[in-house]
Amino acid sequence: MAFSRGSKSTVGLDIGASSVKLVKLDHTKSGHSVSAIGIRELPPEAVVADEIRDRESVMFNIQSLIDLTDPKIKDVVVSLSGHGVITDRFTIDKKTGTEAEQAILFETEQRAPFDVDDVSLSYHIVKVDDDINKMDVLLVAARKEYLQVYLQLIEDCGLRPVIVDDDALAIYNAYEHNYEIDPTRITALVNIGHDVTNITYVCDGLYHSTRDVSSGTREIYNAIQKEFRLNPELTSKAIKGEMSESIDQDMLKATIISATDDLISGVELAFSYFKSQAKLENIDWIVLSGGGALIPYLPDFLQSKLGIPLEIANPLRNIDYDPELFQYLQPEKIAPLLTVSVGLAMRTVR
């Protein structure tokens, strides 16, 4: 879903349930460089489970973010996630042209939980095996109603959504551009958002599949707010580890851990399902991103409970930027939160 505009820079706009993130990347022959970064917190109930409940507040924060970072921005790359979107990978007989499209549409009809006449879909041929005359197809489909509501919001902010991507593919894109992918290692890219945890699997050095877990940091946020009787602003600081001198850290750790039952269970179930479907015994590595990667004690607890080595994602690892331009944000500290927006901004708009 792209339009030809010819640009040497791309803006990734990630509208999450707890905040709006923006990254502008300049594309050069040597790679990418950051020219703008911004984050705006959203009210606690503005977006819930991918449903925009306070449209005016979301629009205000998007427009404020544009004004703060670069008022000239018009073209943005955005992404969708949640129940209105499906991402799937399947194998079909090798075909081209109209035959390929018809075969892919047939597969979509078998897999989509909604009528294919009501969806916008895009696909990519991941690989072709000429020896067995098969090809692997990556499918992304979004409900038209869900897509139109989202696009209308962006346009009402005075912006042009030039590419619509999927959160999982943006996360994979950021990972692929910043890390040397080991084809012998099974990696789970775990992005913990406010309401949804997105898990993207990388096998044989390629994108394999995605699964969403209907749990995120909201339960932790609510538990901290209740336990320490904090207002939303102070709760946001506490969940980021910014109140280490104001609240008891042992109690904070216990509160965070006690609020992760659903998250842990969901991730364990997703991992078990993946290993069963892919006929694999182990997941070798976890790369953790999203707001959950910044919550004190949570990454270590996840690693110990899941028994899998874990590292915190850095989507700015291979991207040039001048730290002095972003001192108030400290990009290296919030980098995991920018994974989707960085992955979006790495898309080139032709």
pLDDT of residue 349: 65
pLDDT band at 174 (very low <50, low <70, confident <90, very high): very high
**With 70 as the cut, is the pLDDT of residue 198 above it?**
yes
The CATH number of the structural domain formed by 86-140 is: 3.30.1490.300
Same fold for the domain at 1-85+147-179+317-350 and the one at 86-140? no
pLDDT of residue 350: 60
d(CA 336, CA 316): 9
Average pLDDT over residues 18-25: 94
**With 90 as the cut, is the pLDDT of residue 15 above it?**
yes
**With 80 as the cut, is the pLDDT of residue 185 above it?**
yes
Residue type, 48: V
**With 50 as the cut, is the pLDDT of residue 5 above it?**
no
Number of Cβ atoms within 10 Å of the Cβ of 3: 11
Q: Minimum mean pLDDT among 95-104, 273-282, 305-314: which range?
A: 95-104
d(CA 56, CA 39): 17
Q: Minimum mean pLDDT among 19-33, 86-100, 277-291: which range?
A: 86-100
pLDDT digits (tens, 9 = 90+) for 85-129: 878 888 899 988 888 888 888 887 877 666 777 878 788 888 888
Record the tokens describing residue 113, joined without a space: 């939980």
pLDDT of residue 6: 41
pLDDT of residue 2: 36
> For 107, how many CA atoms within 13 A lie in the half-sphere containing its CB?
23
Q: Mapping DSSP to helix (H, G, I), strand (E, B) and coil, where does residue 334 land?
A: helix
pLDDT digits (tens, 9 = 90+) for 30-85: 788 999 999 999 998 898 877 889 999 999 999 999 999 999 999 999 998 877 78
Q: Mapping DSSP to helix (H, G, I), strand (E, B) and coil, where does residue 48 land?
A: strand
**CATH assignment of 180-314, among 3.10.129.10, 2.115.10.20, 3.30.420.40, 3.90.480.20:** 3.30.420.40
- In the chain, where the domains are located: 1-85+147-179+317-350, 86-140, 180-314
pLDDT band at 1 (very low <50, low <70, confident <90, very high): very low
d(CA 342, CA 37): 10
The CATH number of the structural domain formed by 1-85+147-179+317-350 is: 3.30.420.40
* Sequence-distant contacts of 272-275: CB under 8 A, at least 24 apart: 273/211, 274/188, 274/199, 274/201, 274/209, 274/211
